[in-house]
Structure 1
């Protein structure tokens, strides 16, 4: 069985809320919070930091999609929207707000299990993409510093590009520092000598 999740439910119909809670617990997950209106759903999600949110679209105070938008501005959490009917406009809005799944009442336990599994899987893919994007940005930034440091070495030491790179690598090894750290130090030193 997959890992037990900490799930928050936001539903204003008591019987539906109890049914969802029962199904979630039967699936081996934990209900860590229940909200019956949009505003308290936002506060509860920010306080409890659930692994997943099940949110009814029609909520008092602020609707479910607006609540998800406010939650995602503070902490991005996978969410499943629950609605009493199929509505293209709601689905479009839900997608724009980063909702991972859309369920129509009545919800049986099999549909709920599929929705939870797909939502968590999509969320993990999303997190991986975010991580890969950060790594790519870091690599590009490091590349810029290394290129600039090589340029300084080529200029000051009259080295060719491959020799400058070897010099940087040797400094990196000898000082037991990352190449980008050595490159930044060379750039900093050069700016001091250039003044």
Structure 2
């Protein structure tokens, strides 16, 4: 059986809300909160930390997409991973789908939602969310690598200037210092840059 998810439902129509609750529980998941409007959805997402949110697109106050945007902003500001979201609408609208994609919604359902459709949407949503996480990690790895390269080049330039070294000699000096101190090359580069800054004051 798939992982039991803690789910927040944001739906202002009682009949639809109960239908989603029953379907989720039949699929083995736990409903940990119910929001009747967008503002409540934002608050409960922060308080309950669900694994998944089912968000009706048309609700009193702020709409579902705006609520998702605010939830993501709050979590990113707190250094947390965003929560995967399935948007639910009364009709199919490509503009809504496009808006939903822009704020990080991973699946889209049209009412009335049948249990089998919900099961598939959850699987699709979680698979896309995992892909998003991997892409994010890869982006961070590339970003960190480029930053490290810039710092190493800067430190190499400092050694060349201060010790009258050629480029390959400066690089070997960096590598030797990295080995001798058992520190990463980028950490040695940061130390050299900081020492140069202090000497230049």
User: TM-score range with shorter-chain normalisation?
Assistant: over 0.9
Question: Whole-Å Cα distance in 2 between the matches of residues 144 and 85 of structure 1?
Answer: 50
User: Does 2:122 correspond to 1:116?
Assistant: yes
For residues 31-46 of structure 1, what are the structure 2 equivalents within 5 Å?
31-46=31-46
Residue-pair matches, total: 195
Question: Whole-Å Cα distance in 2 between the matches of residues 186 and 7 of structure 1?
Answer: 50
RMSD over aligned Cα, in angstroms? 1.6
Q: What TM-score comes out, normalization by structure 1 length?
A: 0.92
- Structure 1, gaps ≥5 residues long: none
Q: What TM-score comes out, normalization by structure 2 length?
A: 0.90
Question: Whole-Å Cα distance in 2 between the matches of residues 57 and 74 of structure 1?
Answer: 19
Shift in Å, 1:188? 2.1
Which residue of 1 is the match for residue 22 of structure 2? 22
Write the deviation string for residues 9-36 of structure 1: whole angstroms up to 9, x where unpaired: 0111212111111111221221111111
Which residue of 2 is the match for residue 88 of structure 1? 94
User: Does 2:135 correspond to 1:138?
Assistant: no
Regions of 4+ moved over 6 Å: none
Write the deviation string for residues 9-64 of structure 1: whole angstroms up to 9, x where unpaired: 01112121111111112212211111112211111111112111101112122222
- Structure 2, gaps ≥5 residues long: 76-81
User: Does 2:176 correspond to 1:170?
Assistant: yes
Instruction: Give the direction of change, closer, same or farther, for the CA distance of 1:43–1:150 in structure 2 (3 Å limit).
Output: same
> Residue 60 of structure 2 aligns to a residue in which SS?
coil
